[in-house]
């Protein structure tokens, strides 16, 4: 999504969305190597927060006319589904 953002967003919204997107996978990987389910669950919760950050960034991108309403809706649906899956997995750890 961010590859078509204007150059002036390179160190702003582009970077923020890309870092949050990367953080989802990295937090899950990091958490899987921890010694307790509680610590893993905490990292999964942080990953959900990063998903929400990507989705929020998509709203900003749409407001700034960097992406279409259809693209924003797709990102929202992806984020909603992923957050639900991560939270469902978190419940199995408790």
Note the pLDDT tens digit of each residue in 13-29.
Answer: 999 999 999 999 999 99
Residue 94's pLDDT band (boundaries 50, 70, 90)? confident
Distance, C-alpha 34 to centroid of its chain:
21
Grouping H, G, I as helix, E, B as strand and the rest as coil, residue 59 is helix
- pLDDT of the residue at 69: 98
pLDDT band at 58 (very low <50, low <70, confident <90, very high): very high
Give the predicted TM-score (pTM) of the model.
0.93
Instruction: Give percent above pLDDT 90 in the chain.
Output: 96
Domain boundaries, the chain: 9-93
Q: In which band, very low, low, confident or very high, does the pLDDT at 3 lie, cut at 50, 70 and 90?
A: very high
Between the alpha carbon of residue 24 and those of residues 14, 27, 85, 86, the distances in Å are: 16, 6, 13, 10
Domain 9-93 is found in CATH 1.20.1440.60: yes
User: In whole angstroms, how far apart are CA 35 and each of 23, 29, 32, 38, 44?
Assistant: 20, 13, 8, 9, 14
């Amino acid at each position: 999504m961010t590859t078509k953002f204007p150059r002036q967003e390179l160190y702003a919204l582009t970077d923020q969305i890309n870092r949050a997107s990367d953080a989802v996978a990295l937090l899950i990987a990091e958490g899987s190597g921890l010694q307790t389910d509680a610590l893993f669950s905490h990292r999964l919760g942080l990953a959900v927060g990063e998903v929400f950050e990507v989705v929020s960034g998509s709203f900003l991108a749409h407001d700034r006319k960097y992406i279409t309403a259809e693209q924003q809706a797709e990102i929202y649906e992806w984020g909603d589904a992923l957050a639900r899956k991560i939270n469902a997995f978190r419940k199995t750890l408790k």
